[in-house]
Structure 1
Amino acid sequence: MRGAGLTPKIRKIGSLVSKLVTSERAAATVASSPRTGTSPKPRSFDARKAVSWLRVGPRVASLVRRARALRDSGRQLEAAELYEAASKIAPWHVGFKVQCGNMLKDGGRLEDAMEWYQSALTDQPDHADTHLQIGHALKLSGRRSEALASYRRVLVIDPDNPHASWELIQAGEIEEQVRGISAQMTGHGLETMLSLSAEVEAMRRRLSEIAGELPDIASLTAFPASSYRLFRQLYDVPPQPPDPSAAPSEILVVADATGLDAEGLHRLVGSLVGQSLERWRAVLIGVDPALAVAVERLARVDGRLEMRMGASAEADSSPEWAHARQTPAETVVLLARVGALHRHALAWFSAAFAASEADVVTCDEEWILPGESEPTAFEARGRLDPDMLLSENSWGATIALRNETLERLDLSQDGGDASFTRSDLLLSAVRADASIGHVPLPLVSFVGAEDGRETAMRAARAGHRRAVERHLGLSGLSGRIDLAGGSADAALRVRWRPDAGAEKITVIVPTRDNVADCKAFVDSLFAQAARPEKLHCQIIDNGTTVAADLALLEELAEHPRVRVRRDDGAFNWSHVNNLGAEDSDTPLVVFANDDMLMRSAGWDETLRGLLAREDVGAVGAKLLYGDDTVQHAGVLFGWKGSVIHDGLYEPADRAGPSGRWTKTRRASAVTGAFLAMRRADFVRLGGFDARRLPVGYSDIDLCLRVREQGLAVVFTPDVTLYHHESKSRGLDHLDPERAARSRAERTGIEARWGKRLFSEEPTVSPIWIDATLPYRLISFPAPRKALDFIRLTASTDSRMIKSRAPAAAVHDVSG
């Protein structure tokens, strides 16, 4: 009977224990909710822990409820105190430690958060959510490499964790992108997307009048760039959109068949007769007489084909454009040697000239391995850049141009060397101020071994250098540029000479409670300068209070070419830099952050040389993180409708698409962390906008005003610095006021220049999809988007900016 009497009590206790265990799992769910981490895994029943819950459960539940309420009201640090109290009551509960760390992290106390995460790992080393939260904290701290390692650790523990996978994909991790594509294919997700894409594309064709307004379906099926072969198996170059009002122009193709074997010649001829555009003629030169029958048998029935055999060695060696002048046509396409045209190539060239004011048009290319049927590699290009062109012809050897443009170009009569003639043609177009557009699709393909591209690039260097030397002579620039390299063993290096007077430079450096770094930076500037006696530094102390830093400022002020100015007002980056410019009296000024170190010897001479050019208005540098990855190689527009640093997180020695991170080139903007200008231009343009853009986007705004004046904004890798980004100011997104200010500044710059301007980037092909970091994912642009890019690349900077800025834009700036 006594046992029977105890049964209800035992059942009641068992029920309570069950509820407490459920409560524990619910708390674990909070710690691993989709907002912060992974789904919880079922735990085995622990009797001793259940008994402990009997003692502490009600107190812990009350703390957790109050902590959640504080968290939801934005009082993270107070919530952290309650989670800490809960952890002390239930020290075996890892979830409370993780949540305490989360609250501290959200409250900006990253180091304290890391201590709680490490404590949680001590209790449970393979807790996936703890590793995930550590990754988030490391990312916020700017320790990107360690953060990625934490996310990879999560996937070792939990391979299906979507949050860690997405972080790696967003970070541009190629392996994770490929894994994601493979998982989609295994799970039939890709087939579903492709089917849906096909249906939507069919609808777009039926509704062509609104196709330009629809979202780009291609972004739904973007591929890692390393999976180009698989991508091309599934997608082909789209046909150009029909334009009923534009009759297709007749196109003359001049193709140099010198050195082609039977297979290569048949491939070339087949690519011509298979064109979707019918209004074309082709002249083939340099055909091996033993293979001439391959052309003759088709020329009998297709009058568009012509084979031109020279009567002498001199005639055979004349450049292709000379043959084009003998056969007038509205448009001429000079086809790259050993290249073959995509079936829509001529239609796209015709559409490019019909849809834009381009005088010259270039295109992308792709490569096929011998014996393969699908391309395995590609080169996607942007707008032709005259500065990049001096270093290398990165736009290929297939060039289309209007016949009237060909007639007015000052071209060399030398032939034979295709690399010379193509570089000479593009440089002649630059001299003639011709408008050069670009078709962002691979219209030409080559067959060759994997190292064939590199071999061809090396072989082209000598011919390209000859073309550059001719260009400099005709442009009157021979005395202003030094050339080095330009052989199979060394890339061509271009250096603009500074004026003989060696103009003085003032570097303006705002600082606050970070004077140790500032002093190290100033020391590195003088140590690496070629002319340190021509260098001055203007330090703007924006309210330093730390005694040690104040002592260092006094030490800095003793330097004969360093001046320290005190400014105790609220931080206004634009205003502080405007003050520095007002105080300086040197012809050149550099605006620089205090958390950097100069790496490049002779950096001052590089800036003097570039700013001696009348066409250059601003110069930016290559900035690296401490782990030798790129923080800035120019600023890109059009990335998720906003701006992003070019080359972000790439290895410092990686060249990038078309070598853009290793060449001096023109950029949409450069960061104000290191921005050089002529002081007269800075004053004439009104300086930084301290009223509406006190901290963010002021550098972008100034660069746009520079470009609006027809001046170039130039990025150069020949000035490289280490940059510990935001070290002295902290992280904006962890401060509510700063975050609100940043949003207001973004609204302000969009109102001034228009959102459309920030959605377009002429230097980057739209084949690159902006779902993650730049240059990771690819998909062919919709035809109308490709036409828009052709128009964009064919426009000058100043015209493009003025056509996209709101009519009422007024650049009223004030210091």
Structure 2
Amino acid sequence: MSAAGTRFRTNPVRWLAARGRSTPHVLRADKLRDAGNPAAAARAYEAALKVDPGRTNLKVQCGNMHKDAGAIDAALHWYESALADRPDDADIHLQAGHALKLAGRRTEALAAYRRVLALDPANRNASWELVQAGDEGEQMRGIAAQMTGHGLETMLSLSAEVAAMRRKLDEIAAALPDVASLAAFPAKAYRHFREIFDVPSPASLERPADLPHLTVVADAAGLDAAALHRLLASVVGQSAMRWRAVLFDVEPSLLVAVERLARADDRLEAAPAASEGAGGTAVLDLVQETGTDAVLFLPRSAAMHRHCLAWLAAAFAGSAADVLTFDEEWVVPGETEPSSFEARGGLDPEMLLQENGWGEAIAVRKTTLGAFDLARREGRRLPEPSDLLLSALRAGASFGHTPYPLVVYEGDGNARDAVRRKALAEHRQAVERHLRLCDLGRQVILSEGADGGPLHLEWRAGSPHAAITVIVPTRDNAEDCAVFVDSLFVKASDPDGLQILIVDNATTARSDLVGLDALAARKGVRVSRDDGPFNWSHINNLAAATSDTPILVFANDDMRMLSSGWDERLRGLLARENVGAVGAKLLYPDETVQHAGVLFGWKGSVIHDGLFEARDAAGPSGRWIKTRRASAVTGAFMAVRRDDFLALGGFDAAGLPIGYSDIDLCLRLHASGRDILWTPDVTLLHYESKSRGLDHLDTERAERSRRERALIESRWGAEVFSRDPTISPIWIDATLPYRLISFPAPQRALDFVRLTSRASRAETESARSTAACE
């Protein structure tokens, strides 16, 4: 207890007198609180505390009122004072955690919630906050708790009922997206998830009576008896009826295993060993000669899920995809249930050039396969997967992705890593061939990735010394602005090619005005003045109009550049005609990720990809360490060509003065046939919204943000923001991305196949993608 509180408690007369004098203030404060006037209530509680400083409950109320009024620092002061009285009060720690969360101090907020659970393990509010924040430890603890005392069975029974309700009442479920979390599992609990949930059959989908006929071409070279029988069991156990399977290069001593089954099922056969120098010719010739509609190339050691061919047939029948990719899972030898998985999004040509993150099992329509210019490699029976995918890109094929694990491999984490590293060597050969056939060899510098990671591509600038203007709005933040400007020049390959245009939006502090004058005196820096109300879009539009460089970068003032040669990276990427905007990797001060592109469709809205992940985390399919396409990138650091920006009319200063104007510009660039790229090759430290504050703590700003959201939805359609082709629907949006999983319903899965195939078709038809050799 505080010293003042102790003095009052040890003197009963003074304590009673103080309590009497404080009572009118407390009654008035309670009345103001109940009337919805938290700021006035906070002042009344403070008046009561001046008279009676030992009342811990009033300190908590005072903190609550300041928090509700948006005065977070004052709220934290009173919570800290209350905790000095009662350090083991879980509820005070909980309220402090909420205030820290509102202030954007995430690490401290999570620590407060963990302290709550240490004091009160059954506290559901703190547990839910951690789950919502993507805390894997709390998510796993929740699963473990559910598995105790038949809790798991109860939860799963409820989940089954909820799943049935969702199928029948889609509209209600759309209004209550967090219901999905009831049937969701933490990604790290995949083994438990698969013990209970299986890939659903596509039987419920509306499909043509005559489904496509598929031929499975399986590489059986080097398989031992156990692996061969596992493959055979997966073939003959297919739920689909129209298929043929050909196993190549079966060990002579094991041919009898195939022949034994082929006696009962003539859809199965083993192909003879390859003749010397034949390479993959015999396989492709066999496929062309059959009456099949599509072919599945099944790599060595892979086995199929029992609904694999049924789903491929349904996906081909229900979409315009020429090529189908899908997810995969891995089972540790000796175990029955898979323990890990790879959930992929739609195929991205940018990522494909760095690594084949879509697996070695690939399905292709027979009519499309004939247009592929595949490499003929000595001794290889099946096409090399990377070469197959890149050939499909060159042929203008469309790619759909089926969001289920349709193949399974044996191996632990070390085995997975070994397979990936081995594949990278063959992948590089395929990429080099692709660049050569596309006449891009002189435009790209190809190098090995760090520590056996993905290949690294550096695109050469068409104009190596193209000037860049960095536009930086600022207000009363000259010190941080100077740090940012210094970092831009220090880290640039060509500092003389940089122009920094600082737009001072009504700075009043004398020290900041002096700092801006000092910046204006520097070579390559210009400072302009804008005294009107803050309108981010208008300020940047005016600055762009007064610039004359071919490249513009829009940037916040509260950052620090970390990447050497960042300017050369931007010049190279924007030298490509198909690229409309480039975004950067932004880190919080604790070096967790703040921005790795923008995801659409998360809780029906947008969210930063990679949010709060470790700086060097790879992410699903390595998406946070590879240059890739994104639905949008943040205007906190966005590079564009000036001609493109002006041709589109710049940012929407009237309709979207602050928020969503960066999203809107990205959508307009994409509609004009341009790709939006995000790259980790340009990384900055970002002290988010330091100059402007936080919108949700200001009533007018919050209302303006809601209006901007409504406007952009009416402009582009809510459907645009409801899903993203780069992220698999296996990920549940009840918390942060990539934390919870649940198999999507069959119709939603087929919709994702259509979404991804439409997206890839539109990119091909734009005839702009250098990565796709257009």
TM-score (norm 1): 0.89
Q: Distance in 2 between matches of 1:194 and 1:122?
A: 43
Alignment of 1:546-625 (within 5 A): 546-625=509-588
Structure 2 match to 1:664: 627
Say whether 1:137 aligns with 2:115.
Answer: no
| 8 A Cα contact 1:190 1:221, kept in partner | no
Q: 1:136 to 1:418 in 2, by over 3 A?
A: farther
| 8 A Cα contact 2:274 2:381, kept in partner | no
Say whether 1:755 aligns with 2:718.
Answer: yes
Say whether 1:160 aligns with 2:122.
Answer: yes
| 8 A Cα contact 1:462 1:487, kept in partner | no
Structure 2 match to 1:718: 681
Q: Distance in 2 between matches of 1:583 and 1:244?
A: 58
Give RMSD over aligned pairs: 2.4
Structure 1 match to 2:749: 786
CA displacement, residues 354-388 of structure 1 (integer Å, 9 cap, x when unaligned): 11110000000000000000000000000100000
Structure 2 match to 1:409: 372
Shift of 1:418: 8.5
CA displacement, residues 736-766 of structure 1 (integer Å, 9 cap, x when unaligned): 0000000000011011011111011110000
State, as a whole percentage, how many aligned pairs show the same letter.
60
- Matched to 2:63, the amino acid is G
Q: Distance in 1 between matches of 2:369 and 2:108?
A: 55
| Greater mean alpha carbon deviation, residues 116-125 or residues 759-768 | 116-125
Q: Distance in 2 between matches of 1:643 and 1:134?
A: 28
Q: Distance in 2 between matches of 1:79 and 1:419?
A: 74
State the SS of the aligned residue for 2:651: coil
Say whether 1:686 aligns with 2:686.
Answer: no
Q: 1:262 to 1:718 in 2, by over 3 A?
A: same
CA displacement, residues 428-458 of structure 1 (integer Å, 9 cap, x when unaligned): 1111221100000000000112311111111
State the SS of the aligned residue for 1:346: helix
- Which residue of the other structure, out of 483, 490, 498, is the alignment partner of 1:535? 498
Quick check: which has more Rg, 1 or 2?
1
| Greater mean alpha carbon deviation, residues 67-76 or residues 470-479 | 67-76
Say whether 1:110 aligns with 2:61.
Answer: no
| 8 A Cα contact 1:732 1:739, kept in partner | yes
Alignment of 1:120-269 (within 5 A): 120-186=82-148, 188-199=150-161, 219-240=181-202, 241-269=204-232
| 8 A Cα contact 2:219 2:381, kept in partner | no
Stretches of structure 2 that go unaligned for 5 or more consecutive residues are 1-7, 766-774
Say whether 1:370 aligns with 2:315.
Answer: no
Alignment of 1:500-511 (within 5 A): 500-511=463-474
Q: 1:213 to 1:635 in 2, by over 3 A?
A: closer
Q: Distance in 2 between matches of 1:80 and 1:270?
A: 71
Alignment of 1:288-437 (within 5 A): 288-310=251-273, 312-315=275-278, 320-414=283-377, 416=379, 421-437=384-400
- Matched to 2:185, the amino acid is F
Q: Distance in 1 between matches of 2:483 and 2:759?
A: 41
- Matched to 1:129, the amino acid is D
Shift of 1:86: 2.5
Shift of 1:138: 2.1
State the SS of the aligned residue for 1:584: coil
Q: Distance in 2 between matches of 1:689 and 1:208?
A: 38
Structure 2 match to 1:91: 53
Q: 1:488 to 1:115 in 2, by over 3 A?
A: closer
| 8 A Cα contact 1:282 1:304, kept in partner | yes
| Greater mean alpha carbon deviation, residues 117-126 or residues 172-181 | 117-126
Q: Distance in 1 between matches of 2:25 and 2:392?
A: 73
Q: Distance in 2 between matches of 1:134 and 1:213?
A: 33
CA displacement, residues 485-527 of structure 1 (integer Å, 9 cap, x when unaligned): 1698454111111124421100000001011111110111011
Structure 1 match to 2:769: none
Q: 1:200 to 1:740 in 2, by over 3 A?
A: closer
| 8 A Cα contact 1:318 1:416, kept in partner | no
Q: Distance in 2 between matches of 1:193 and 1:178?
A: 15
| 8 A Cα contact 2:207 2:314, kept in partner | no
CA displacement, residues 120-155 of structure 1 (integer Å, 9 cap, x when unaligned): 122111121222222222222222112111111111
| 8 A Cα contact 1:424 1:467, kept in partner | yes
- Which residue of the other structure, out of 34, 37, 47, is the alignment partner of 1:75? 37
Shift of 1:323: 4.0
Say whether 1:731 aligns with 2:684.
Answer: no
Shift of 1:211: 12
CA displacement, residues 218-246 of structure 1 (integer Å, 9 cap, x when unaligned): 54210000000000001000011332534
Say whether 1:460 aligns with 2:423.
Answer: yes
- Matched to 1:147, the amino acid is A
CA displacement, residues 178-232 of structure 1 (integer Å, 9 cap, x when unaligned): 1112223336444234224435656788x69999989887542100000000000
Q: Distance in 1 between matches of 2:137 and 2:611?
A: 18
| 8 A Cα contact 1:556 1:562, kept in partner | yes
Q: Distance in 2 between matches of 1:361 and 1:438?
A: 6
| 8 A Cα contact 1:499 1:612, kept in partner | yes
For these two proteins, the number of residue pairs brought into alignment is: 755
State the SS of the aligned residue for 1:689: coil
State the SS of the aligned residue for 2:689: coil
Higher relative contact order (CA 8 A, sep 6+): 2
State the SS of the aligned residue for 2:54: coil
State the SS of the aligned residue for 1:378: strand
Stretches of structure 1 that go unaligned for 5 or more consecutive residues are 1-45, 803-815
Shift of 1:630: 0.2
- Which residue of the other structure, out of 613, 621, 625, is the alignment partner of 1:650? 613
Shift of 1:160: 1.1
Shift of 1:92: 3.0
Q: Distance in 2 between matches of 1:747 and 1:78?
A: 32
Q: Distance in 1 between matches of 2:566 and 2:609?
A: 21
Q: 1:522 to 1:431 in 2, by over 3 A?
A: same
Q: Distance in 2 between matches of 1:461 and 1:112?
A: 55
Shift of 1:642: 0.3
Q: Distance in 2 between matches of 1:164 and 1:49?
A: 38
- Which residue of the other structure, out of 763, 774, 778, is the alignment partner of 2:737? 774
- Matched to 1:572, the amino acid is N
Say whether 1:450 aligns with 2:413.
Answer: yes
Shift of 1:322: 4.8
Q: Distance in 2 between matches of 1:221 and 1:201?
A: 8
Shift of 1:672: 0.2
Structure 2 match to 1:705: 668
- Which residue of the other structure, out of 234, 237, 246, is the alignment partner of 1:283? 246
Structure 2 match to 1:675: 638
Q: Distance in 2 between matches of 1:288 and 1:419?
A: 16
Shift of 1:327: 2.9
- Matched to 1:265, the amino acid is L
- Which residue of the other structure, out of 451, 466, 474, is the alignment partner of 2:437? 474
State the SS of the aligned residue for 1:292: helix
Structure 1 match to 2:3: none
TM-score (norm 2): 0.93
